[in-house]
Amino acid sequence: MARVRKGAGRPAPLRVLHVAAECFPLVKTGGLADVVAALPAAQRAAGLDVRLLLPAYPALRQALAGTVEVAPIGAAFGAARVALLRGTLPGSDVPTYLIDAPWLYDRPGNPYLGPDGHEWADNLQRFGLLGWTAAQIAAGGLDPEWTPAVVHAHDWHAALVPVYLAARGTAGAQGAHARTVLTVHNLAYQGRFPLERFGELGLPAWMAGPAGVEFHGDLRLLKGGLMFADRITTVSPTYSREILAPAEGHELDDVLRHRADRLSGITNGIDDAVWNPATDPAIAATFDASDLAGKAACKLALQRELGLASQSGAPLLGVVSRLTPQKGLDLLLSVLPQWLGAGGQVAVLGSGDPALEHAWRAAAQAAPDAVGVHIGYDEGLAHRMVAGCDLIGVPSRFEPCGLTQMYGLRYGTLPVVHRVGGLADTVVDADEAALREDRATGFVFGAATPDALARALRHALDGWHHPAAWQQVVRRAMAQDTSWRVPAARYAALYAEAVAQG
């Protein structure tokens, strides 16, 4: 472990630079933002010298406090005026660099998509600059006072960091030799661009081929990162194995198999200050495992808010999710009549695919007492749903980690999940053996089919009608350690290994 205590003769704390395109709460499209806010903070609390690099989107630029210009960068990636800033973001003590490049980043809304819902046409330059800047910092010199020993890049947006470092040779300006860790949060998103645009990246010509960022005739930024990163991680051990086979490899399984000796999985944690039922300011009443009265109050408040019948005896199943094919909410729609017929209620908070949005709205119109649907993005409602529901559904076809099932565990809201990726690693099915051994934390089904989901829901319903057993599972769920403590230590060990062995 790279531990890291201050004092004479002790090694200096390991310097780690996280590089990403989102950060909760100011720029968030999914769980990546939660991880990028919470992991560096947990690592800092554990004694690492951690910093964060993000594009200066308007929300971040405006919120950055104590801003200093670290270095002018000048013209780069089509932008005339680029500078590296440093400061801190609200609620965080992690020193944060922003790449100030108004031409590329000073745009409202989603970090990847324009107002028409299409990717910004210059995303190659926007995320090229992100990777390139991180590599400049890592190679030493851009911030004369601070050079990281490890650069931890997240997803395709930051996947060019190892590529740019490889392009300049391993040693940096001052002989520094930063190691790179690339975390794949979701292999489905790869950063794909026409090969003809390779020249915009300023990389050596050989990298336009199969040994570089080219893949099947296109540029794929994630593939480039996978080729050159010193360590590759995914956000759960099961997902790190699943992606080695064609079914879940999103075409990159071959590349990943080639690098399997560098690949491992570390299950995410959740921010236990933001997601804590005992202190959560967004919910109707706080509660903990020793007194669940507040949870019953949260359920009634949520039923009222969503216009559902105020029935404490009706099991309420909630979903907080992007509405994409990955998340399997079409499966839940198919089994909805059975669940409602058995006396259940459903609450859905999400947005995404217009057809799914439409179908869920229609389901709510057809049964307003039993189905509550909010299409949109609402952080407060997400908390009220996790607190007020009895069950949280995550019927994803694949799920690298998944965070909402862990929020559910913490709030005693039992997860109903497909046995894949991080869902398999974080939820224990309430089968007879697990109940007997007091290990059960939820309901797990083995196939992404309506039948399998329906069976899991029947199982959950059966549990609901046995309150003593249900309470036992709720308490076991709430006792899980879903914090960042263990994963932060695992990353620290991985960094130390990368620094020692390359």
**Residues in contact with ligand ADP by the rule CB under 6 A:** 30-32, 34, 320-322, 349-351, 377-379, 382, 401-404
Q: Which is nearer to ligand ADP, 137 or 375 (CB)?
A: 375
**How many whole angstroms separate alpha carbon 204 and alpha carbon 403?**
39
Token reading at 146:
């601070």
Closest residue to ligand GLC, judged by C-beta, is 31
**How many whole angstroms separate alpha carbon 441 and alpha carbon 411?**
12
Residue 158's Cβ-count burial label (10 Å; 0-12, 13-18, 19+) is buried
- 351 interface partner picked from ligand GLC, ligand ADP, none, CB below 5 to 8 A per type: ligand ADP
Site for ligand GLC in 223-242 (CB under 6 A): 235
- Minimum separation from the CB atom of position 480 to ligand GLC (A): 16
Site size with ligand GLC, rule: CB under 6 A: 14
Site for ligand GLC in 393-452 (CB under 6 A): 399-403, 422
Closest residue to ligand ADP, judged by C-beta, is 31
- Minimum separation from the CB atom of position 27 to ligand GLC (A): 14
Q: Which is nearer to ligand ADP, 47 or 325 (CB)?
A: 325
Residue 32's Cβ-count burial label (10 Å; 0-12, 13-18, 19+) is buried
| Closest CA relative to residue 17, chosen from 130, 167, 129 | 130
| Closest CA relative to residue 230, chosen from 156, 153, 148, 146 | 153
- Minimum separation from the CB atom of position 415 to ligand ADP (A): 11
- Minimum separation from the CB atom of position 401 to ligand ADP (A): 6
Cis peptide before 25 (omega within 30 of 0): yes
State which of residues 268, 321, 345, 482 lies at the interface with ligand GLC (CB under 6 A): 268
| 3-state secondary structure string across 172-233 | CCCCCCCEEEEEECCCCCCCEEEHHHHHHHCCCHHHHCCCCCEECCEEEHHHHHHHHCCEEE
Residue 112's Cβ-count burial label (10 Å; 0-12, 13-18, 19+) is middle
Q: Which is nearer to ligand GLC, 28 or 299 (CB)?
A: 28
Q: Which is nearer to ligand ADP, 7 or 117 (CB)?
A: 117
- Minimum separation from the CB atom of position 35 to ligand GLC (A): 5
- Minimum separation from the CB atom of position 389 to ligand ADP (A): 13
Give the interface with ligand GLC as residue ranges (CB under 6 A). Answer: 30-32, 35, 185-186, 235, 268, 399-403, 422
